[in-house]
Amino acid sequence: MNLYSFMSVCYDLLDKIWFSDKGRNPRDVIEKLIPNRACTVLDMCCGTFSNGLPIAKKNPNNRVIGLDRSEDMLKEARRKVKSADLANVKLLCQDATYTGLESESFDYIIIGLVLHECNEMLWNRILREAHRLLKKDGKLIILEWDKQRAISRKIKFAPIYVLEVLGNPKYFTQMYYSDKSRFFESYRFQMLEQYECNYTVVMSLRKNGYN
């Protein structure tokens, strides 16, 4: 039993409390980055499918795969997919460091709110797997917590900051304060765009060396 066994039923409160403020909701930004054409989307470490679900609803032409190692988080994801009656979704219980999926088979890969929970070894393994799975002209979309400037936002973000620091003291701050372009460059991804959102940043990247 891990943290997400307890959190799966209340995880979506995160979106209601932090992402629905006036400002950009990161889930909406991610959804808009993916067009409704015949393409494959992998929501890697999908949790309750907060990124994949709105995409699958908006884009019936997409094939959306959600992958997570927590059966409890996937149970919530399955409930949401069933109630939306979606035929273009597949949910897999797998480890993101070794998915067993075919190389270069995805047009878009989303990794949302995961990397700040990892250590150096996991950054390496998850991003190496994402690099392997992404098509040459594919896009990697990352959602991560962002540094807050306004005092009111610092205060509202404080509980998350404290919990994340306590949960992963060394690597959370390393990820949080990192220069994201340089960080992803060292894992063979090039930054294309960054979108400032509520408490978070959404980044669009491509594999290095491909146009």
With contacts defined by CB under 6 A, name the span among 46-54, 132-140, 174-182, 199-207 that binds ligand SAM: 46-54
* Strand order through the sheet with 134-145: 89-93, 62-68, 39-44, 106-112, 134-145, 200-207, 189-197
Q: In the complex, what is the shortest distance from the CB of residue 194 to ligand SAM, in angstroms, rounded to a whole number?
A: 17
Do 198 and 21 touch, CB atoms closer than 8 A?
Answer: yes
Among 88, 95, 174, 187, binds ligand SAM (CB under 6 A): 95
Q: Using the rule CB under 6 A, is 47 a contact of ligand SAM?
A: yes
Contacts of 58 (CB under 8 A, 6+ apart): 31, 36
Q: Using the rule CB under 6 A, is 69 a contact of ligand SAM?
A: yes
With contacts defined by CB under 6 A, name the span among 17-25, 92-100, 149-157, 163-171 that binds ligand SAM: 92-100
Indicate the residue among 115 and 191 with the shorter CB distance to ligand SAM.
115
Among 112, 139, 141, 202, binds ligand SAM (CB under 6 A): 112
Count the site residues for ligand SAM by CB under 6 A.
Answer: 17
The closest of 192, 194, 189 to 207, measured between CA atoms, is 189
Do 105 and 80 touch, CB atoms closer than 8 A?
Answer: no
Beta bridge partners, 111, equal 44, 142
Do 91 and 84 touch, CB atoms closer than 8 A?
Answer: no
Contacts to ligand SAM by CB under 6 A: 4, 45-47, 50-51, 68-70, 73, 95-97, 112-114, 143
